[in-house]
Amino acid sequence: AQKVTQAQTEISVVEKEDVTLDCVYETRDTTYYLFWYKQPPSGELVFLIRRNSFDEQNEISGRYSWNFQKSTSSFNFTITASQVVDSAVYFCALKETSGTYKYIFGTGTRLKVLA
Amino acid sequence: GAVVSQHPSRVICKSGTSVKIECRSLDFQATTMFWYRQFPKQSLMLMATSNEGSKATYEQGVEKDKFLINHASLTLSTLTVTSAHPEDSSFYICSARVQFRGTYEQYFGPGTRLTVT
């Protein structure tokens, strides 16, 4: 069965610290997609990244970086030099490539960056 | 990028009344839209898949007679919460699916916060 696990319920860091949010997934599909979304207090989901199962290259975008490792079924997200504006709930999601192309969301990690 | 809107963004209704939430794809057509529900401090849970011109497919445990979904056009899906009760208070998010580079992507609306008093 498809499943996404975000074991960290809540993380607090002090501004400028680096923080890594973990995501572990389970799927039977050989082709799949992984996502990270940010949900600030307003509630609107903000798309951060999409990665397909054939592309294991790590990606960096400004202070954000992602580490995709198929061997451990993990897709971790690191924020470097965190800022107060990074405070939000972050969701990892898995997309099936068959049927209805449903998204399966993890339970989210609430990140609090303290000034 | 593709834009999905929801209306209203926030609604308060009395117990026993019905409330309709609209989801629109603004600059693209979506044959499929999804409805999610998110309770406070919880994840998004898929409620139903809405296909234009046909009946919605509901996830296990979601009452189809309570959550009526209509996808009458390629740019509009509506979710009606009938006979709402306080336990229906939640954040409802829709998404619209569009084909992109050989696969399907979902674009999410900003959500509708429903409070039933």
DSSP per-residue letters across B43-92: --EEEEEEETTS--EEPTT--TTTEEEEEEETTEEEEEE-S--GGG-EEE
**What's the gap between Cα B71 and its chain centre?**
10
Q: Where is pLDDT greater, at B54 or B78?
A: B78
Q: CB contact, 8 Å: B7 with chain A? A: no
Q: Which chain A residue shows the shortest CA-CA distance from B58? A: A100
pLDDT (0 to 100) of residue A100: 66
If contacts are CB pairs under 8 Å, which of residues 45-104 in chain A contact chain B? 45, 47, 50, 91, 95, 97, 100-103
The confidence score (pLDDT) of residue A1 equals 75
Residue-by-residue DSSP string for A32-100: -EEEEEEE-TT---EEEEEEETT----EEETTEEEEEEGGGTEEEEEESS--GGG-EEEEEEEE-SSTT
Q: Nearest CA of chain A to the CA of B42: how many Å?
A: 6
Q: How confident is the model at residue A97 (pLDDT cuts 50, 70, 90)?
A: confident
pLDDT at A73: 96
Report the gap between the CA of A12 and the closest CA in chain B (Å).
Answer: 16
Name the residue type at position B112.
Answer: T
- Return the residue of A nearest to B93 by Cα: A44
**Which residues does chain A have within 8 Å of residue B104's beta carbon, measured at their own beta carbons?**
101
Mean pLDDT over each residue of chain B, to the nearest integer: 93
Among B34, B43, B103, whose Cβ lies nearest the Cβ of A107? B43
Confidence of residue A101 (pLDDT cuts 50, 70, 90): confident
Summarised one tens digit per residue, pLDDT across range A34-79 is: 999 999 999 999 999 999 999 888 889 999 999 999 999 999 999 9
Distance CA B34, CA A78 (A): 29
Q: Which two tokens stand for residue B80?
A: 């009606």
DSSP structural state of residue B23: E
Q: Which two tokens stand for residue A30?
A: 């050989």
CB contact under 8 Å between A103 and B104, yes or no, is no
A8 is written with which tokens? 């960290």
pLDDT at residue B1, as a whole number: 67
Q: What is the pLDDT of residues A6-20, one digit of tens each?
A: 999 999 999 999 999
Q: Which of residues 30-89 of B touch A (CB under 8 A)?
A: 32, 34, 41-46, 49, 57
Specify whether the backbone of A15 is left (phi greater than 0), alpha (psi in -120 to 50) or beta: beta
pLDDT digits (tens, 9 = 90+) for B63-109: 999 999 999 899 999 999 999 999 999 999 999 988 877 777 889 99
